[in-house]
Amino acid sequence: MNVTPIPHNRKNEARKIRRDAAQLAFGRPHPPHQNNDEENDHPFVANYSKGLPHDDLGEVDPAAYQALLDAVTSGDPAKFDAIPLAGANTRKLTNPQAGMAYDLEGPDAQAVTLPPAPRIDSAENSAEMGELYWMALLRDVNFTDFATNPMVTEAAASLSLEFSDFKGPKDPATGKVTPATLFRGIYPGELDGPYLSQFMLKDVPYGSLTINQRQKTVVAGIDYMTDYNSWLAVQRGDDRRRRDRLDLDIDGRPNLRYIRNMRDLGRYVQVDAP
């Protein structure tokens, strides 16, 4: 078999292209990462501490939280291993060093940033929490019923009238939250079309295969962490995975369903592939 020889400079050209790309990336601005400073004003209360030791009020042990901060600040894997967890059977922290990894493709993890999160003592934070509670109450309402469900109408009115700094999408004509804008995103095009993207409903062609997007989901009406003791157990890292009650047929086989509501969406995110 005749093989076309590779030009002798191909290896050097490949190195040059990679170096030029690296230099281009190096020349881009590296943005500062800002926080909202609530960690100083309200120590521990509004910051992630799940899995660490907590007292009966749900407040994290300060020494354990400081060990987490020390590990994040240093980037030392040994310090991450030394973070004290709540107990021997506590669920371990999930990939706490992810933000420190380096990648040869795309921008560095530290070269992109987000605005600071709303502070726990802000009106914007209260509005976001109100929206999340309404999502929880409406998790079993199908998206196709949003226009006629009275609780959806109540949620829209609540977010319009009861929160002074709700920044979710509103109807352009009235400036108020409506069932058609409820729980949608804030970017261009988010208010167009049905709530659920058609990309989550249409079959996916994959070579000779066709992937149907019906999923295994869970039954309606069963909620978790709705009492103090179960919340505290999870805050202390109690591993409660694989306790969901799946939606099964009379023969015990999963009912495969298209995503219909926020409970189905939550299930999709819960077990999605990274």
Nearest to 103 by CA among 93, 94, 112, 91: 112
How confident is residue 5, by pLDDT bands cut at 50, 70 and 90? low
The tens digit of pLDDT for each residue in 150-188 reads: 999 999 999 999 999 999 999 999 999 999 999 999 999
The tens digit of pLDDT for each residue in 11-26 reads: 999 999 999 999 998 9
Nearest to 114 by CA among 42, 194, 179, 34: 34
In this predicted structure, the answer to whether residue 149 has a pLDDT above a threshold of 80 is yes
**Which residues, including other chains, have CB under 8 Å from residue 219's CB and lie 6 or more apart?**
245, 246, 247
Cβ count within 10 A of residue 97 = 13
**Residue 8 confidence (pLDDT):** 67
The Cα-based distances of 76 to 16, 114, 212 in angstroms read 33, 24, 44
Tell me which H or E stretch contains 181: none
**Residue 240 confidence (pLDDT):** 84
Nearest to 262 by CA among 140, 149, 129: 140
**Residue 184 confidence (pLDDT):** 94
Q: Tokens standing for 253?
A: 């086989």
In this predicted structure, the answer to whether residue 250 has a pLDDT above a threshold of 90 is yes
What percent of the chain clears pLDDT 90, i.e. is strictly above it? 74
* Boundaries of every domain in the chain: 38-111, 122-195, 198-270
In this predicted structure, the answer to whether residue 274 has a pLDDT above a threshold of 80 is no
**Residue 6 confidence (pLDDT):** 59
Question: Are 39 and 47 contacting, i.e. CB atoms less than 8 angstroms apart?
Answer: yes
Bridge-based pairing of strands 215-216 and 256-257 is antiparallel
**Residue 242 confidence (pLDDT):** 82
Tell me which H or E stretch contains 66: helix 62-74
The tens digit of pLDDT for each residue in 191-236 reads: 999 999 999 999 999 999 999 999 999 999 999 999 999 999 999 9
The tens digit of pLDDT for each residue in 27-52 reads: 998 899 999 999 889 888 888 999 99
- Cα gap 259→144, rounded to integer Å: 11
**Residue 107 confidence (pLDDT):** 87
- Tell me the three state secondary structure of residue 61: coil
How confident is residue 131, by pLDDT bands cut at 50, 70 and 90? very high
The Cα-based distances of 71 to 80, 84, 134 in angstroms read 5, 11, 36
The tens digit of pLDDT for each residue in 67-121 reads: 999 999 998 999 999 999 998 778 889 889 988 888 888 888 889 999 999 999 9
Nearest to 51 by CA among 102, 85, 11: 85
- Tell me the three state secondary structure of residue 97: coil
How confident is residue 272, by pLDDT bands cut at 50, 70 and 90? confident
**Residue 109 confidence (pLDDT):** 85
- pTM attached to this predicted model: 0.86
Q: Tokens standing for 30?
A: 């590296």
